[in-house]
Amino acid sequence: MSRNTDGNGPAARVQTPRRPVPTGFLFGRGEAPVRPHNGTLMSPTGSAPPRPVPPPLALAATAAGVAAMLLGPLQAQRLAPGLGLRSQVALGTVLLGVPALLALIPRPGGVRAAFGTGAVPSRTIRLSILLGAALWVGSIGLMEMQSLVFPPSAETLDLFRRLHAALAPSGPLDGLVSLTVIALLPALSEELVMRGVLLPSLAGRLGDAPAVVLTSAIFALIHFDPIRLLFTFVLGVLLGLLRLRTRSLWPSVVVHSTLNALTFAIAPLVDDPSQPYTPQPALGLLCLAVGAALAWPLLRALRPSVDSPGSAA
């Protein structure tokens, strides 16, 4: 019996369409992704495919987290008057992410949709660290340029200095604790809420661009800092693009924690409380140019680590 080679018989090889890496908006045009069959969407264990948390639940978890972040430390301070500022910051940061975690626990598919699937390559981690450093340089420029129009008040500068003084480490181990409180915990908690739960949920309903803009605006507002409003909004847009482009939450966490760590480590070294703050537009333009020149190719170089349609936001 002759073998059927016309592609229609049982001996024909099944060709799986190649799924191009999506470039996303602002990254140029890309081919429309091929919708995989149901077997592709299933996880290896046969569980349900990753699906984001429904938008009403995602918004409710975000609102509950912000309320817990604000009220939790106040209540803890009443119960334990000696609670230090570092402990209050850590408590509020953790409480921000608790409702989002509770929304994900009964939804295994939602967990995979929030965090992405597959291991993150070391190359992605390295590029994310470099991107965080580049964005930190750009943030200096943005703040300097903004200060020409909207300079920080003496009260704002004093609060910033008192916060850094309270977090100043007394030794290597204490420094690790402060770094965890100011860099790692906020990156984990804020990225989980904004880019892990809220962004994928809204992107499925509104589309990528509106979801990135809306979550970035919420991200900026929950910092309750008019001086950093523009900076946190721009940062939120870039982190949202990174989340959609890589289809994983972890690069955004690494970028966020790197930027926070550099700010915590370097800002007190260059701040002189004895001198009045004066904006430096030349320095601002230089830092903006250098930060953008470094960040853009890094952002383009970061891409999905695995071809996993279920992890797409």
Pick from 218, 245, 253: nearest CA to 233: 218
Q: Which two tokens stand for residue 127?
A: 């590029």
Mean pLDDT of the chain: 83
Number of H helices, E strands in the chain: 13, 0
Residue with tokens 């904004």: 194
Dump pLDDT digits (tens) for 51-104. 899 999 999 999 999 999 999 999 999 999 888 888 999 999 999 999 999 999
Amino acid, single-letter form, for residue 103 = A
Length reported for the chain: 313
Pick from 301, 310, 186, 207: nearest CA to 245: 301
Q: Which two tokens stand for residue 37?
A: 């069959």
Q: Please check whether residue 311 is in contact with residue 253, taking contact to mean a CB–CB distance below 8 angstroms.
A: no
* Residue 40 pLDDT > 50: no
Dump pLDDT digits (tens) for 104-156. 998 888 899 999 877 889 999 999 999 999 999 999 999 899 988 888 887 88
